[in-house]
Structure 1
Amino acid sequence: MAQSSAMNGGDGIYSYLKNSNLQRDGLNAAKNVIKEALLESLDLKTLLLSSPNSTATTFTIADLGCSVGQNTLFAMKMLIETVEHKHHNISQENSEKNRIEFQVFFNDQTANDFNTLFASLPPQHERKYFAAGVPGSFYGRLFPSSSIHIAYCSSSLHWLSELPVDLVDINSPAYNSGRIHYTGASDAVVGAYADQFEKDMQVFLTARAEEIVGGGMVVILMPGVPDGGVTHDVGIALTFLGSILMDMVEEGILIQDRVDSLNIPHVYPSVKQMKRLVEQNDSFEIVKMELRNARSDMEAPIDIESAVMHLRAFTEETIVNQLGIEIVDELFKRAVKQKNKFYQMLHASGIEIGAQFFSVLKRKFD
């Protein structure tokens, strides 16, 4: 029952390219702690010594769930500069033998707009890496064994591989009628989402354990909640959209069965939950794991219209697949008109807006 879809492609007004500043803010908020963790824990000397090439080491980075646009390019530039800084510090001589060449693999679903992504790449002479696209789900193997040095996964791992069928089974206690997410739903619905997330995480970690070299790293950024919490502001945004869809049902524009068939496959984990899952997998040690805030300015007012545009950029394709393209413009036109309701829902929740799960993991040596 796969339902997640690629982000809006192209460079139009509703594209992910034009509406992903929140994801950039998340990286900006975490970049210094990412650099610090890599500089302290990446055993670059051992990785260089293990290279079979006598003249240069190929250092390979994979962005898992890269989407389109500048965010992934910014992240890859930051990671490469960090590795170069580490390399400079440990290098005793600038010999040809110590030279590093960088390979970057940009991974996302097959429906991702790789054309827009590759059109955004700097010219070859202006970038420090060779680039290649790798289409396919990161819930499974993507690369040869022990071939990746750093796997980077930002704003993507909270998307489930698929949704539990119980969510649309009218005879199940997890039947999610009248909602499009688990935020505010019954314990059975929350549990069904959580169970799928935990299954997905074990698949993700097992696949990465095969692909990442001993001593290699995984960097993860995604929406997260405090230990014991469930509600995240992205979930509130989805609940807001669901309430508009139910208004359209009451007006006879939509049939409720169609709305009941739509569940956005997002889960926002806690540090405690992720720590348990990593420890169960036992292939990685935790270098850093915490809940941070992704907002660039905690005191700045929330731009609700921009938030609605952001919401459209990452949900539109999923909504189209379930409800049809004819419904999208009306849905988001209403969302803009009802932006005060969205703001009130966020304010009434009492949660910290912009909470972000952050982790750096290190592949154990076999």
Structure 2
Amino acid sequence: MGESFPMKSGDDSHSYSKNSLYQKLASDTVKEMIQESVIKYLDTDKVTSSMGSTTIALADFGCSIGPNTFLAVQNLIQPLQTKNLEFQVFFNDHFSNDFNTLLTSLPPERPYHAAAVGGSFYGRLFPRNSLTIAYSSQSLHWLSKPPQGVNNEAGIHGSGAPEPVARAYSAQFEADLGCFLDARAEEIVSGGLMFLVMPATPDGLTQTELSALFDFYGYSLMDLADKGVVEKSRIEEFNLPIHIPRLGEMREVIEKNGCFRIERMELTNPKSKVAGPLDAANVVTHMRSAMEGVFAAHFGASVADQMFDNVVPMTPRIADCFKALHHISNQLFVVLTRK
């Protein structure tokens, strides 16, 4: 499954737990949609009868270290709390995830039993027919590995990638999402639900705020290469293991898999909850907590540190890009039922 690049651990001012506001906005945007879908599509009597248990098992795949995962779990459980049910919640991420911070920050008053499960969600993690609800937010755009054999003319994989590069990334995404769906199809009971929330690109467009930001990471690295801080060959060898799929691309892979029925699939706009365009400087800080690991693994911690610092003076230009893209809905919300 390749390397894992966990979010920045701990609970200090630069950690992911303190720099995940925009991920929280993503979760808040779909909160009511999730609760409506749980009520509409989950037949708890049928599911519990088939499982022979009144325990509803939920798993958050790619949970990171909180606190957003706890809010997401509460959104899933709240519509079911009036029923005579017990809840078991599994928090999943790579073994290198900071589970200590996650578990020590669990809400003391919570209506569920909690457990951590380490391992890549691109493979099996649970027994067959053991999960009722699966959830994944801001995780599936991380590929299991960068596409192989890609000539890095746009290794940061921002906008304007050459067609062969774009095809290679799409192929890797299709393979990875297929593995994810196959694994969840084994684990989720018939009639169970899966919720997917992730960045996406509207059909017909090539750029969103995230892909624009990747462009600026590339500019920063090339600037460091011009200054002799890093060799250009190291940049040419680097391919970011991230793919922002199109809505149609996502639908095609799910339908090809055939194990799930699409109940709801649409683009949402978390930016609608922000007054005006995104704060570019704030976004850069937040993204560092999420992405520092992948750059440090390839270039070394010192170069990664300089790269992120080098992006800070570019924030006025980044802000202009964000302003132009503010109206675009770039978050995918998917509700699936296990057939």
**Paired residues of 1:180 and 1:260 also in contact (CA < 8 A):** no
Q: For the residues of structure 2 that align with 1:178 and 1:40, how far apart are their CA atoms?
A: 44
Matches within 5 A, 1:240-255: 240-255=216-231
Structure with larger Rg? 1
Q: Deviations over 1:9-36 (max 9, x none)?
A: 1112221111111011011011111111
**Residues 178 and 235 of structure 1, relative CA distance in 2, 3 Å threshold:** closer
Residue correspondence of structure 1 range 267-306 to structure 2 within 5 A: 267-297=243-273, 299-306=275-282
2:136 to 153, 164, 188: 153
- Alpha-carbon offset, residue 342 of structure 1: 1.6
2:153 aligned partner: 177
Is residue 117 of structure 1 aligned with residue 102 of structure 2? yes
Secondary structure of the structure 1 residue equivalent to 2:135: strand
Q: Percent identity?
A: 42
Pair 1:357-2:337 in alignment: no
Residue 81 of structure 1: aligned partner: 78
Deviation at 1:183, TM superposition (A): 2.5
Q: Any idea what SS the aligned residue of 2:18 has?
A: coil
Superposed, 1:304-323 pairs within 5 Å as 304-323=280-299
Does residue 102 (structure 1) correspond to residue 78 (structure 2)? The answer is no
| Mapped partners of 1:47, 1:316: distance in 2 | 42
Unpaired runs of 5+ residues, structure 1, are: 88-98, 168-174
Structure 1 residue 135 corresponds to structure 2 residue 112? no
Asked if structure 2 preserves the Cα contact closer than 8 Å seen for 1:37 and 1:360, the reply is: yes
**Secondary structure at 1:160's aligned position in 2?**
coil
Counterpart residue type for residue 63 of structure 1: D
**1:269-296 alpha-carbon deviations (Å, 9 max, x no partner):** 2222211111111111111001111225
Measured after TM superposition, the shift of residue 298 of structure 1 is: 5.0
Out of 257-266 and 103-112, give the one that drifted further: 257-266
Shift of 1:262: 2.2
Choose which of 244, 261, 265 in structure 1 pairs with 2:237: 261
TM-score (norm 1): 0.89
Q: CA deviation at 1:359?
A: 0.3
- Count of residues paired in the alignment: 339
1:310-353, CA deviations, whole angstroms, 9 ceiling, x for partnerless residues? 110111000110000112332222211221122234346x5745
Structure 1 distance, partners of 2:326, 2:318, is 14
Q: Distance in 2 between matches of 1:210 and 1:59?
A: 17
Q: Is the 8 A contact 2:212 2:321 kept in 1?
A: yes
Equivalent pair of 2:174/2:253 in contact (CA under 8 Å) = yes
Structure 1 residue matching 2:69: 3-state secondary structure: helix
Give the whole-Å Cα distance in 1 for the aligned partners of 2:312 and 2:329.
20
Partner AA of 2:107 in structure 1: P
**Structure 2: how far apart are the matches of 1:47 and 1:178?**
47
One-letter identity of the residue aligned with 2:105: S
TM-score in terms of structure 2 length: 0.95
Q: Say whether the 8 Å CA contact 1:180–1:264 is kept in structure 2.
A: yes
- Secondary structure of the structure 2 residue equivalent to 1:295: helix
Once the two structures are superposed, what CA deviation does each residue of 1:53-98 show, in whole Å capped at 9, x if it has no partner?
4xxx11100000000121000111111112224x3xxxxxxxxxxx
